[in-house]
A and B are shown apart, each in its own frame.
Chain A
Amino acid sequence: MATLIIAEHDNSILKPATLNTVAAAVAIGGDVALLVAGEGCQAVADQAAQVAGVSKVLLADNAAYGHQLAENVAPLVAELAKTAGFDYVLAPATTTGKNLLPRVAALLDVGQLSDIVAVESADTFKRPIYAGNAIATVKSLDAIKVITVRGTAFDPVAAEGGSASVEAVTAVHDAALSRFIGEEVAKSDRPELTSARVIISGGRGMGNGENFALLEKVADKLGAAVGASRAAVDAGFVPNDMQVGQTGKIVAPELYIAVGISGAIQHLAGMKDSKVIVAINKDEEAPIFQVADYGLVADLFEAVPELDSSL
Protein backbone atom coordinates (compact mmCIF):
# COMPACT_ATOMS: atom_id res chain seq x y z
CA MET A 1 0.00 0.00 0.00
CA ALA A 2 1.16 3.52 -0.70
CA THR A 3 -0.21 6.92 0.27
CA LEU A 4 0.38 10.25 -1.40
CA ILE A 5 -0.11 13.26 0.87
CA ILE A 6 -0.49 16.78 -0.49
CA ALA A 7 1.75 18.96 1.69
CA GLU A 8 0.24 22.19 3.01
CA HIS A 9 2.70 25.06 2.62
CA ASP A 10 3.19 28.66 1.52
CA ASN A 11 6.26 28.01 -0.69
CA SER A 12 8.63 28.60 2.24
CA ILE A 13 7.25 26.80 5.31
CA LEU A 14 5.65 23.38 5.67
CA LYS A 15 2.39 23.94 7.62
CA PRO A 16 1.80 21.84 10.77
CA ALA A 17 -1.51 20.46 9.40
CA THR A 18 0.65 18.26 7.15
CA LEU A 19 2.08 16.48 10.20
CA ASN A 20 -1.40 15.50 11.45
CA THR A 21 -2.23 14.16 7.99
CA VAL A 22 0.96 12.05 7.98
CA ALA A 23 -0.25 10.59 11.30
CA ALA A 24 -3.49 9.47 9.61
CA ALA A 25 -1.47 7.91 6.77
CA VAL A 26 0.69 6.06 9.29
CA ALA A 27 -2.51 4.74 10.92
CA ILE A 28 -3.59 3.37 7.52
CA GLY A 29 -0.16 1.75 6.99
CA GLY A 30 2.15 1.39 4.00
CA ASP A 31 4.61 3.78 2.38
CA VAL A 32 4.00 7.51 2.74
CA ALA A 33 5.06 10.02 0.09
CA LEU A 34 4.62 13.79 0.36
CA LEU A 35 3.93 15.95 -2.68
CA VAL A 36 5.22 19.50 -2.46
CA ALA A 37 3.68 21.41 -5.36
CA GLY A 38 4.50 25.09 -5.57
CA GLU A 39 6.91 27.65 -6.93
CA GLY A 40 10.36 28.19 -5.41
CA CYS A 41 9.49 25.65 -2.74
CA GLN A 42 12.76 23.70 -2.40
CA ALA A 43 12.92 24.75 1.28
CA VAL A 44 9.53 23.11 1.89
CA ALA A 45 10.73 19.88 0.27
CA ASP A 46 13.79 19.91 2.55
CA GLN A 47 11.54 20.32 5.62
CA ALA A 48 9.20 17.61 4.31
CA ALA A 49 12.13 15.18 3.94
CA GLN A 50 12.75 15.49 7.70
CA VAL A 51 9.21 14.50 8.70
CA ALA A 52 9.05 11.21 10.61
CA GLY A 53 7.33 8.40 8.72
CA VAL A 54 7.74 9.88 5.25
CA SER A 55 9.70 7.72 2.80
CA LYS A 56 9.70 9.96 -0.26
CA VAL A 57 9.15 13.61 -1.15
CA LEU A 58 7.96 14.54 -4.63
CA LEU A 59 8.83 18.12 -5.56
CA ALA A 60 6.84 19.78 -8.33
CA ASP A 61 8.37 23.24 -8.56
CA ASN A 62 6.82 25.32 -11.31
CA ALA A 63 5.19 28.71 -11.79
CA ALA A 64 1.94 26.92 -12.71
CA TYR A 65 1.71 25.60 -9.13
CA GLY A 66 2.76 28.84 -7.41
CA HIS A 67 -0.61 29.67 -5.89
CA GLN A 68 -1.77 26.07 -5.83
CA LEU A 69 -4.68 26.69 -8.16
CA ALA A 70 -6.81 23.54 -8.14
CA GLU A 71 -7.16 23.67 -11.95
CA ASN A 72 -3.40 23.07 -12.29
CA VAL A 73 -2.53 20.96 -9.24
CA ALA A 74 -5.47 18.50 -9.48
CA PRO A 75 -4.38 16.99 -12.85
CA LEU A 76 -0.83 16.62 -11.48
CA VAL A 77 -2.07 14.75 -8.40
CA ALA A 78 -4.46 12.58 -10.42
CA GLU A 79 -1.67 11.68 -12.84
CA LEU A 80 0.74 10.82 -10.02
CA ALA A 81 -1.91 8.70 -8.29
CA LYS A 82 -2.52 6.70 -11.45
CA THR A 83 1.00 6.35 -12.82
CA ALA A 84 2.85 5.87 -9.53
CA GLY A 85 0.22 3.48 -8.18
CA PHE A 86 -0.91 5.24 -5.01
CA ASP A 87 -3.84 3.59 -3.22
CA TYR A 88 -4.59 6.65 -1.08
CA VAL A 89 -4.45 10.37 -1.70
CA LEU A 90 -4.67 12.44 1.49
CA ALA A 91 -4.66 16.14 2.29
CA PRO A 92 -5.36 18.17 5.42
CA ALA A 93 -8.98 19.38 5.64
CA THR A 94 -7.89 23.01 5.28
CA THR A 95 -9.35 25.40 2.70
CA THR A 96 -6.51 24.39 0.34
CA GLY A 97 -7.16 20.66 0.81
CA LYS A 98 -10.93 21.06 0.54
CA ASN A 99 -10.53 23.08 -2.64
CA LEU A 100 -8.20 20.59 -4.31
CA LEU A 101 -9.09 17.05 -3.33
CA PRO A 102 -12.66 16.71 -4.65
CA ARG A 103 -11.34 17.88 -8.01
CA VAL A 104 -8.69 15.14 -7.87
CA ALA A 105 -11.30 12.54 -6.89
CA ALA A 106 -13.58 13.44 -9.80
CA LEU A 107 -10.65 13.24 -12.25
CA LEU A 108 -10.01 9.72 -10.91
CA ASP A 109 -13.76 8.94 -11.02
CA VAL A 110 -13.83 8.02 -7.33
CA GLY A 111 -15.80 9.32 -4.33
CA GLN A 112 -14.11 11.39 -1.66
CA LEU A 113 -14.19 11.19 2.12
CA SER A 114 -14.19 14.57 3.86
CA ASP A 115 -12.74 15.40 7.24
CA ILE A 116 -12.07 11.91 8.64
CA VAL A 117 -11.51 11.73 12.41
CA ALA A 118 -10.48 8.06 12.71
CA VAL A 119 -9.09 5.18 10.66
CA GLU A 120 -11.03 1.98 11.41
CA SER A 121 -9.39 -0.23 8.79
CA ALA A 122 -7.81 0.07 5.35
CA ASP A 123 -11.14 0.99 3.75
CA THR A 124 -13.30 2.14 6.65
CA PHE A 125 -13.20 5.55 8.30
CA LYS A 126 -15.12 7.68 10.76
CA ARG A 127 -16.31 11.17 9.88
CA PRO A 128 -18.62 13.68 11.52
CA ILE A 129 -21.88 14.65 9.83
CA TYR A 130 -24.64 17.12 10.78
CA ALA A 131 -22.23 19.65 12.28
CA GLY A 132 -20.57 16.96 14.38
CA ASN A 133 -23.86 15.87 15.99
CA ALA A 134 -23.44 12.39 14.56
CA ILE A 135 -20.40 10.31 13.67
CA ALA A 136 -20.73 8.13 10.58
CA THR A 137 -18.62 5.06 9.89
CA VAL A 138 -18.20 4.75 6.13
CA LYS A 139 -16.58 2.14 3.93
CA SER A 140 -15.09 3.24 0.63
CA LEU A 141 -15.82 0.97 -2.33
CA ASP A 142 -13.36 2.75 -4.63
CA ALA A 143 -9.95 1.50 -5.79
CA ILE A 144 -8.18 4.76 -4.93
CA LYS A 145 -9.27 6.38 -1.69
CA VAL A 146 -9.21 10.15 -1.71
CA ILE A 147 -9.51 11.60 1.79
CA THR A 148 -9.20 14.88 3.69
CA VAL A 149 -8.08 14.59 7.30
CA ARG A 150 -9.28 16.62 10.29
CA GLY A 151 -6.04 17.77 11.88
CA THR A 152 -7.32 18.00 15.45
CA ALA A 153 -8.30 14.31 15.42
CA PHE A 154 -4.74 13.02 14.84
CA ASP A 155 -1.67 13.83 16.94
CA PRO A 156 1.03 15.22 14.66
CA VAL A 157 4.07 13.10 13.79
CA ALA A 158 7.51 14.53 14.62
CA ALA A 159 8.67 17.25 12.21
CA GLU A 160 12.21 15.89 12.42
CA GLY A 161 13.99 12.59 12.50
CA GLY A 162 13.00 11.34 9.05
CA SER A 163 15.31 11.10 6.07
CA ALA A 164 13.23 10.85 2.94
CA SER A 165 14.68 11.21 -0.54
CA VAL A 166 13.54 14.19 -2.63
CA GLU A 167 12.56 13.48 -6.23
CA ALA A 168 11.76 16.18 -8.73
CA VAL A 169 8.50 15.85 -10.67
CA THR A 170 8.81 17.51 -14.05
CA ALA A 171 5.21 17.17 -15.25
CA VAL A 172 3.66 20.59 -15.81
CA HIS A 173 -0.09 21.05 -16.01
CA ASP A 174 -1.16 24.57 -16.77
CA ALA A 175 -4.87 24.56 -17.55
CA ALA A 176 -4.79 28.34 -18.16
CA LEU A 177 -8.36 28.53 -16.86
CA SER A 178 -7.70 30.59 -13.74
CA ARG A 179 -5.36 33.26 -12.50
CA PHE A 180 -4.32 34.35 -9.02
CA ILE A 181 -4.92 38.08 -8.59
CA GLY A 182 -4.13 38.88 -5.00
CA GLU A 183 -4.64 38.13 -1.36
CA GLU A 184 -5.39 39.89 1.90
CA VAL A 185 -3.69 37.96 4.63
CA ALA A 186 -4.74 38.75 8.17
CA LYS A 187 -1.54 39.52 10.09
CA SER A 188 -1.12 38.20 13.61
CA ASP A 189 1.79 37.43 15.93
CA ARG A 190 -0.36 35.06 17.95
CA PRO A 191 -0.38 31.30 17.35
CA GLU A 192 -2.47 29.91 14.50
CA LEU A 193 -6.01 29.01 15.59
CA THR A 194 -5.95 25.41 14.40
CA SER A 195 -2.70 24.56 16.18
CA ALA A 196 -2.97 26.78 19.30
CA ARG A 197 -2.80 25.15 22.75
CA VAL A 198 -5.12 27.77 24.20
CA ILE A 199 -7.87 29.72 22.43
CA ILE A 200 -9.99 32.58 23.71
CA SER A 201 -13.01 33.38 21.55
CA GLY A 202 -15.53 36.19 21.55
CA GLY A 203 -19.12 36.26 20.38
CA ARG A 204 -21.86 38.78 19.80
CA GLY A 205 -21.68 39.67 23.49
CA MET A 206 -18.40 41.49 22.81
CA GLY A 207 -20.50 44.35 21.42
CA ASN A 208 -17.94 45.61 18.89
CA GLY A 209 -14.54 44.93 17.34
CA GLU A 210 -12.63 47.27 19.68
CA ASN A 211 -13.67 45.20 22.69
CA PHE A 212 -11.76 42.23 21.29
CA ALA A 213 -8.70 44.05 22.69
CA LEU A 214 -9.85 42.75 26.10
CA LEU A 215 -9.49 39.19 24.82
CA GLU A 216 -6.16 39.94 23.15
CA LYS A 217 -4.67 41.05 26.48
CA VAL A 218 -5.66 37.73 28.08
CA ALA A 219 -4.50 35.85 24.98
CA ASP A 220 -1.04 37.39 25.20
CA LYS A 221 -0.67 36.30 28.82
CA LEU A 222 -1.75 32.74 27.99
CA GLY A 223 0.06 32.48 24.65
CA ALA A 224 -3.37 31.92 23.17
CA ALA A 225 -4.95 32.44 19.76
CA VAL A 226 -8.06 34.61 19.46
CA GLY A 227 -11.17 33.18 17.79
CA ALA A 228 -14.74 34.27 17.22
CA SER A 229 -18.24 32.96 16.71
CA ARG A 230 -20.14 33.40 13.46
CA ALA A 231 -22.31 36.03 15.14
CA ALA A 232 -19.22 38.15 15.87
CA VAL A 233 -17.99 37.74 12.29
CA ASP A 234 -21.38 38.48 10.74
CA ALA A 235 -21.69 41.58 12.90
CA GLY A 236 -18.38 42.74 11.39
CA PHE A 237 -16.48 42.75 14.71
CA VAL A 238 -13.62 40.63 13.33
CA PRO A 239 -12.56 39.01 10.03
CA ASN A 240 -13.98 35.66 8.97
CA ASP A 241 -10.72 33.74 9.20
CA MET A 242 -11.12 33.96 13.00
CA GLN A 243 -14.39 32.04 12.89
CA VAL A 244 -14.62 28.79 14.85
CA GLY A 245 -17.49 26.49 13.88
CA GLN A 246 -19.03 24.15 11.32
CA THR A 247 -18.36 26.61 8.54
CA GLY A 248 -15.20 28.08 10.00
CA LYS A 249 -12.25 26.41 11.64
CA ILE A 250 -12.42 23.21 13.66
CA VAL A 251 -10.23 23.45 16.76
CA ALA A 252 -9.45 21.18 19.70
CA PRO A 253 -7.06 23.05 22.03
CA GLU A 254 -6.14 22.13 25.60
CA LEU A 255 -8.16 25.10 26.79
CA TYR A 256 -10.99 26.94 25.03
CA ILE A 257 -12.41 30.06 26.65
CA ALA A 258 -15.75 31.18 25.16
CA VAL A 259 -16.61 34.76 26.05
CA GLY A 260 -20.03 36.19 25.23
CA ILE A 261 -20.82 33.15 23.06
CA SER A 262 -24.24 31.52 23.50
CA GLY A 263 -23.10 28.16 22.12
CA ALA A 264 -25.18 27.54 18.98
CA ILE A 265 -24.92 24.03 17.42
CA GLN A 266 -22.90 25.56 14.62
CA HIS A 267 -20.26 26.96 16.99
CA LEU A 268 -20.08 23.85 19.19
CA ALA A 269 -19.30 21.83 16.05
CA GLY A 270 -16.01 23.68 15.83
CA MET A 271 -14.78 23.46 19.43
CA LYS A 272 -16.50 20.77 21.48
CA ASP A 273 -13.51 18.43 21.27
CA SER A 274 -11.42 20.91 23.26
CA LYS A 275 -9.95 19.36 26.39
CA VAL A 276 -11.13 21.98 28.87
CA ILE A 277 -13.92 24.42 27.99
CA VAL A 278 -14.56 27.61 29.94
CA ALA A 279 -17.63 29.76 29.40
CA ILE A 280 -18.02 33.35 30.47
CA ASN A 281 -21.55 34.57 29.84
CA LYS A 282 -24.07 36.67 31.70
CA ASP A 283 -26.95 34.41 30.62
CA GLU A 284 -26.90 31.36 32.87
CA GLU A 285 -29.31 29.61 30.47
CA ALA A 286 -26.87 29.87 27.54
CA PRO A 287 -26.32 26.43 25.91
CA ILE A 288 -22.55 26.94 26.14
CA PHE A 289 -22.75 26.08 29.86
CA GLN A 290 -23.92 22.57 28.94
CA VAL A 291 -20.54 21.74 27.43
CA ALA A 292 -18.39 23.94 29.68
CA ASP A 293 -16.16 22.35 32.31
CA TYR A 294 -15.98 25.67 34.13
CA GLY A 295 -18.57 28.38 33.85
CA LEU A 296 -18.60 31.93 35.10
CA VAL A 297 -21.97 33.67 35.01
CA ALA A 298 -20.95 37.31 34.84
CA ASP A 299 -20.81 40.41 32.69
CA LEU A 300 -17.81 39.83 30.45
CA PHE A 301 -16.78 43.50 30.66
CA GLU A 302 -16.09 42.95 34.36
CA ALA A 303 -15.05 39.30 34.24
CA VAL A 304 -12.46 39.50 31.45
CA PRO A 305 -10.44 42.38 33.00
CA GLU A 306 -10.59 40.49 36.33
CA LEU A 307 -9.38 37.35 34.58
CA ASP A 308 -6.59 39.40 33.03
CA SER A 309 -5.46 40.77 36.40
CA SER A 310 -5.68 37.33 38.07
CA LEU A 311 -3.27 35.77 35.59
Chain B
Amino acid sequence: MKILVGVKRVLDHNVKVRVRADGSAVDLDNVKMAINPFDEIAVEAAVRLKEEGVATEVIAVSIGPEKAQDTLRQALAMGADRAILVPHGGTTEPLSVAKTLKALAEKENAGLVILGKQAIDDDCNQTGQMLAALLGWPQGTFASGLSVTGEQIEVTREVDGGLETVALNLPAIVTADLRLNEPRFASLPAIMKAKKKPLESITAESLGVDLAPRLELVGVVEPPVRAAGGVIVATAAELVEKLKHAAAIA
Protein backbone atom coordinates (compact mmCIF):
# COMPACT_ATOMS: atom_id res chain seq x y z
CA MET B 1 0.00 0.00 0.00
CA LYS B 2 1.24 3.45 -0.91
CA ILE B 3 0.72 6.27 1.56
CA LEU B 4 0.38 9.88 0.49
CA VAL B 5 1.27 12.51 3.11
CA GLY B 6 0.43 16.18 2.73
CA VAL B 7 2.86 18.75 4.17
CA LYS B 8 2.45 22.53 4.31
CA ARG B 9 5.08 25.21 4.69
CA VAL B 10 3.88 27.65 7.34
CA LEU B 11 5.15 30.38 9.63
CA ASP B 12 7.20 28.72 12.40
CA HIS B 13 4.91 28.14 15.37
CA ASN B 14 7.21 30.01 17.76
CA VAL B 15 7.14 33.22 15.73
CA LYS B 16 4.72 35.92 16.80
CA VAL B 17 2.76 36.96 13.74
CA ARG B 18 2.65 40.60 12.58
CA VAL B 19 -0.15 42.18 10.59
CA ARG B 20 0.92 44.46 7.70
CA ALA B 21 0.40 48.14 8.44
CA ASP B 22 -2.06 48.49 5.55
CA GLY B 23 -4.18 45.67 6.97
CA SER B 24 -3.99 43.69 3.73
CA ALA B 25 -2.46 40.52 5.11
CA VAL B 26 -0.09 38.97 7.61
CA ASP B 27 3.55 39.95 7.10
CA LEU B 28 5.49 36.90 5.95
CA ASP B 29 8.59 38.69 4.64
CA ASN B 30 11.83 37.60 6.29
CA VAL B 31 10.21 35.41 8.91
CA LYS B 32 11.16 31.86 9.77
CA MET B 33 9.05 29.26 8.00
CA ALA B 34 8.76 25.60 8.93
CA ILE B 35 6.80 22.43 8.35
CA ASN B 36 3.31 22.60 9.87
CA PRO B 37 3.64 20.73 13.22
CA PHE B 38 0.63 18.48 12.56
CA ASP B 39 2.10 17.48 9.19
CA GLU B 40 5.31 16.42 10.90
CA ILE B 41 3.17 14.05 12.97
CA ALA B 42 1.48 12.81 9.78
CA VAL B 43 4.86 12.06 8.16
CA GLU B 44 6.00 10.22 11.29
CA ALA B 45 2.81 8.12 11.26
CA ALA B 46 3.34 7.19 7.60
CA VAL B 47 7.00 6.31 8.10
CA ARG B 48 6.12 4.13 11.10
CA LEU B 49 3.55 2.24 8.98
CA LYS B 50 6.29 1.63 6.43
CA GLU B 51 8.64 0.38 9.16
CA GLU B 52 5.88 -1.97 10.34
CA GLY B 53 5.64 -3.36 6.82
CA VAL B 54 2.09 -2.05 6.28
CA ALA B 55 3.11 0.51 3.67
CA THR B 56 5.35 -0.08 0.67
CA GLU B 57 6.06 3.55 -0.17
CA VAL B 58 5.56 6.96 1.43
CA ILE B 59 5.08 9.92 -0.91
CA ALA B 60 5.21 13.45 0.53
CA VAL B 61 3.24 16.14 -1.29
CA SER B 62 3.17 19.91 -0.94
CA ILE B 63 1.26 22.61 -2.78
CA GLY B 64 2.89 26.03 -2.54
CA PRO B 65 5.93 28.13 -3.46
CA GLU B 66 9.23 26.70 -4.75
CA LYS B 67 10.59 27.06 -1.22
CA ALA B 68 8.17 24.36 -0.09
CA GLN B 69 10.90 22.08 -1.46
CA ASP B 70 12.65 22.59 1.89
CA THR B 71 9.57 21.28 3.66
CA LEU B 72 9.47 18.26 1.34
CA ARG B 73 13.19 17.60 1.92
CA GLN B 74 12.46 17.53 5.64
CA ALA B 75 9.76 14.90 5.07
CA LEU B 76 12.25 12.92 2.95
CA ALA B 77 14.84 13.16 5.72
CA MET B 78 12.29 11.75 8.16
CA GLY B 79 11.84 8.70 5.94
CA ALA B 80 9.49 9.51 3.05
CA ASP B 81 10.62 7.79 -0.16
CA ARG B 82 9.91 10.54 -2.69
CA ALA B 83 8.23 13.90 -2.95
CA ILE B 84 5.93 15.84 -5.25
CA LEU B 85 5.67 19.63 -5.36
CA VAL B 86 2.70 21.31 -7.00
CA PRO B 87 4.01 24.85 -7.46
CA HIS B 88 1.55 27.62 -6.61
CA GLY B 89 2.24 31.25 -5.79
CA GLY B 90 -0.96 32.59 -4.26
CA THR B 91 -2.99 31.49 -1.28
CA THR B 92 -3.98 27.87 -1.15
CA GLU B 93 -7.49 27.14 0.04
CA PRO B 94 -8.47 23.76 1.49
CA LEU B 95 -10.93 22.92 -1.33
CA SER B 96 -8.39 23.44 -4.11
CA VAL B 97 -5.69 21.62 -2.13
CA ALA B 98 -8.14 18.74 -1.62
CA LYS B 99 -8.81 18.62 -5.37
CA THR B 100 -5.08 18.54 -6.07
CA LEU B 101 -4.53 15.77 -3.51
CA LYS B 102 -7.43 13.81 -5.01
CA ALA B 103 -5.79 13.93 -8.44
CA LEU B 104 -2.47 12.79 -6.95
CA ALA B 105 -4.02 10.06 -4.79
CA GLU B 106 -5.69 8.63 -7.90
CA LYS B 107 -2.57 9.03 -10.04
CA GLU B 108 -0.44 7.26 -7.44
CA ASN B 109 -3.12 4.73 -6.52
CA ALA B 110 -2.68 5.53 -2.84
CA GLY B 111 -4.26 3.26 -0.23
CA LEU B 112 -4.10 5.78 2.59
CA VAL B 113 -3.69 9.54 2.81
CA ILE B 114 -2.43 11.05 6.07
CA LEU B 115 -2.67 14.79 6.69
CA GLY B 116 -2.35 17.02 9.74
CA LYS B 117 -5.63 17.95 11.42
CA GLN B 118 -5.11 21.66 10.72
CA ALA B 119 -2.51 24.11 9.48
CA ILE B 120 -1.42 26.61 12.12
CA ASP B 121 -1.61 29.55 9.70
CA ASP B 122 -5.20 29.50 8.41
CA ASP B 123 -6.44 27.27 11.28
CA CYS B 124 -9.04 25.82 8.88
CA ASN B 125 -9.19 22.11 9.75
CA GLN B 126 -10.88 21.24 6.45
CA THR B 127 -8.55 19.69 3.86
CA GLY B 128 -8.66 16.06 5.02
CA GLN B 129 -12.44 16.01 5.32
CA MET B 130 -12.83 17.64 1.90
CA LEU B 131 -10.44 15.18 0.30
CA ALA B 132 -12.37 12.27 1.83
CA ALA B 133 -15.61 13.65 0.38
CA LEU B 134 -14.14 14.16 -3.09
CA LEU B 135 -12.70 10.64 -3.19
CA GLY B 136 -15.75 9.08 -1.54
CA TRP B 137 -13.44 7.53 1.08
CA PRO B 138 -14.05 7.32 4.84
CA GLN B 139 -12.28 9.74 7.18
CA GLY B 140 -10.59 9.32 10.54
CA THR B 141 -10.08 12.87 11.75
CA PHE B 142 -8.16 14.08 14.85
CA ALA B 143 -6.45 10.69 15.16
CA SER B 144 -4.50 9.88 18.31
CA GLY B 145 -4.09 6.20 17.50
CA LEU B 146 -4.28 4.01 14.40
CA SER B 147 -3.78 0.41 13.42
CA VAL B 148 -4.17 -1.28 10.05
CA THR B 149 -5.51 -4.82 9.86
CA GLY B 150 -6.16 -6.24 6.41
CA GLU B 151 -8.54 -4.03 4.50
CA GLN B 152 -9.45 -1.90 7.51
CA ILE B 153 -7.93 0.82 9.61
CA GLU B 154 -8.98 1.43 13.19
CA VAL B 155 -8.66 5.05 14.23
CA THR B 156 -8.93 6.42 17.77
CA ARG B 157 -10.18 10.00 17.55
CA GLU B 158 -9.84 12.90 19.97
CA VAL B 159 -13.40 14.20 20.41
CA ASP B 160 -14.83 16.83 22.78
CA GLY B 161 -15.93 14.42 25.49
CA GLY B 162 -12.96 12.02 25.34
CA LEU B 163 -11.95 9.40 22.79
CA GLU B 164 -13.88 7.61 20.07
CA THR B 165 -12.79 4.61 17.99
CA VAL B 166 -14.00 3.98 14.46
CA ALA B 167 -13.16 1.32 11.87
CA LEU B 168 -12.75 2.53 8.29
CA ASN B 169 -12.61 0.59 5.05
CA LEU B 170 -9.41 1.20 3.11
CA PRO B 171 -8.62 3.31 1.15
CA ALA B 172 -9.15 6.05 3.73
CA ILE B 173 -8.08 9.49 4.94
CA VAL B 174 -6.57 10.05 8.38
CA THR B 175 -5.82 13.46 9.91
CA ALA B 176 -3.26 13.51 12.71
CA ASP B 177 -3.82 15.08 16.12
CA LEU B 178 -0.98 16.10 18.42
CA ARG B 179 -1.02 12.94 20.47
CA LEU B 180 -0.69 10.49 17.58
CA ASN B 181 3.09 10.29 17.99
CA GLU B 182 6.33 12.08 18.76
CA PRO B 183 7.96 12.98 15.41
CA ARG B 184 11.59 11.92 15.05
CA PHE B 185 14.46 14.30 14.44
CA ALA B 186 16.15 13.74 11.10
CA SER B 187 19.77 12.72 11.58
CA LEU B 188 22.52 14.40 9.57
CA PRO B 189 23.11 11.32 7.38
CA ALA B 190 19.35 11.16 6.75
CA ILE B 191 19.33 14.84 5.74
CA MET B 192 22.23 14.23 3.34
CA LYS B 193 20.51 11.16 1.91
CA ALA B 194 17.24 13.10 1.49
CA LYS B 195 19.00 15.45 -0.94
CA LYS B 196 19.36 12.56 -3.37
CA LYS B 197 15.78 11.32 -3.10
CA PRO B 198 13.47 12.12 -6.04
CA LEU B 199 11.49 15.37 -5.88
CA GLU B 200 9.15 15.82 -8.80
CA SER B 201 7.33 18.99 -9.78
CA ILE B 202 3.82 18.64 -11.24
CA THR B 203 1.67 21.63 -12.21
CA ALA B 204 -1.93 21.98 -11.08
CA GLU B 205 -2.93 22.49 -14.74
CA SER B 206 -1.52 19.13 -15.74
CA LEU B 207 -3.61 17.58 -12.96
CA GLY B 208 -6.66 19.42 -14.24
CA VAL B 209 -7.12 21.38 -11.02
CA ASP B 210 -8.17 25.02 -10.78
CA LEU B 211 -6.58 26.69 -7.73
CA ALA B 212 -8.73 29.86 -7.92
CA PRO B 213 -9.83 30.95 -4.44
CA ARG B 214 -13.45 30.79 -3.24
CA LEU B 215 -12.89 33.35 -0.54
CA GLU B 216 -11.81 36.94 -0.86
CA LEU B 217 -9.62 38.30 1.92
CA VAL B 218 -11.07 41.71 2.72
CA GLY B 219 -8.53 42.57 5.40
CA VAL B 220 -6.62 41.49 8.45
CA VAL B 221 -6.44 43.25 11.80
CA GLU B 222 -4.68 42.65 15.08
CA PRO B 223 -7.01 41.22 17.70
CA PRO B 224 -8.27 43.68 20.32
CA VAL B 225 -5.56 44.26 22.92
CA ARG B 226 -6.46 43.61 26.53
CA ALA B 227 -6.27 46.61 28.81
CA ALA B 228 -2.68 46.75 29.97
CA GLY B 229 -1.57 47.02 33.57
CA GLY B 230 -2.96 44.00 35.29
CA VAL B 231 -2.87 44.23 39.05
CA ILE B 232 -0.31 42.15 40.91
CA VAL B 233 -1.68 41.08 44.27
CA ALA B 234 0.40 39.94 47.24
CA THR B 235 -1.72 37.16 48.71
CA ALA B 236 -4.49 34.75 47.79
CA ALA B 237 -6.80 36.50 50.26
CA GLU B 238 -6.23 39.81 48.50
CA LEU B 239 -6.94 38.10 45.18
CA VAL B 240 -10.29 36.86 46.47
CA GLU B 241 -11.13 40.39 47.68
CA LYS B 242 -10.34 41.86 44.25
CA LEU B 243 -12.34 39.21 42.45
CA LYS B 244 -15.34 39.80 44.71
CA HIS B 245 -15.01 43.51 44.02
CA ALA B 246 -14.84 42.88 40.27
CA ALA B 247 -17.94 40.68 40.67
CA ALA B 248 -16.06 37.84 39.02
CA ILE B 249 -17.01 35.59 41.93
CA ALA B 250 -19.97 35.68 44.26
Contact = CB atoms under 8 A, between A and B. Distances in A.
Contacts of B132: 70-71, 103
B188 to A, nearest CB: 27
A250 to B, nearest CB: 10
B223 A128 contact: yes
B240 A181 contact: no
A135 B221 contact: yes
Given A96-B160, A276-B246, A128 B133 contact: no
Interface in B48-84: none
A205 interface: no
Contacts of B138: 71, 175, 177-178
Interface string A73-113: 01000000000000000000011101111111111011111
B160 A296 contact: no
B106 interface: no
B233 A255 contact: no
Interface string A259-300: 000000110000010011111000000000111111111100
Given A114-B123, A114-B126, A276-B248, A133 B169 contact: no
A292 B233 CA distance: 11
A69 to B, nearest CB: 7
Nearest to A178: B138
Contacts of A109: 95
B230 interface: yes
B124 A114 contact: yes
Interface string A1-13: 0000000000000
A99 B141 CA distance: 7
A177 B169 contact: yes
A255 B121 CA distance: 28
Interface in B149-206: 154, 157-169, 172, 177-179
Interface of chain B, helix or strand or loop or mixed? mixed
Interface centre among B130, B157, B160, B217 (most CB of A within 10 A): B160
Given A95-B142, A95-B158, A241-B162, A124 B215 contact: no
A198 B177 CA distance: 27
A130 B17 contact: yes
A192 B38 CA distance: 27
Interface residues of A, number: 91
Contacts of B26: 129-130, 134
A211 interface: no
Interface in A107-151: 107, 109-115, 124, 128-142
Given A96-B159, A98-B141, A241-B158, A111 B166 contact: no
Given A175-B138, A306-B237, A132 B223 contact: yes
Contact of A115 (B11, B123, B168, B177): B123
A111 B216 contact: no
B160 A310 contact: no
Contact of A311 (B128, B129, B164, B240): B240
B231 A128 contact: no
A135 B220 contact: yes
Interface centre among A70, A95, A180 (most CB of B within 10 A): A95
A102 B122 CA distance: 14
Nearest to A309: B236
Contacts of A137: 217-221
A95 B161 CA distance: 9
A232 to B, nearest CB: 13
A128 B223 CA distance: 8
Interface in A8-62: none
B214 A110 contact: yes
Nearest to A224: B249
A186 interface: yes
B123 A294 contact: no
A99 B139 contact: yes
B117 to A, nearest CB: 8
A204 interface: no
Interface centre among B122, B172, B177, B248 (most CB of A within 10 A): B248
B234 to A, nearest CB: 8
Contacts of B230: 277, 279, 289-295
B118 A134 contact: no
20 contacts: A70-B129, A98-B141, A103-B130, A112-B124, A114-B123, A133-B17, A134-B17, A134-B26, A134-B221, A135-B223, A137-B217, A177-B137, A180-B165, A183-B162, A240-B178, A279-B230, A290-B230, A293-B226, A293-B227, A306-B237
The 7 closest A-B pairs by CB, nearest first: A111-B214, A306-B236, A102-B129, A106-B133, A102-B126, A106-B130, A177-B138
Given A181-B167, A255-B243, 9 more contacts: A71-B139, A107-B133, A111-B215, A134-B26, A177-B169, A177-B172, A233-B179, A234-B179, A290-B230
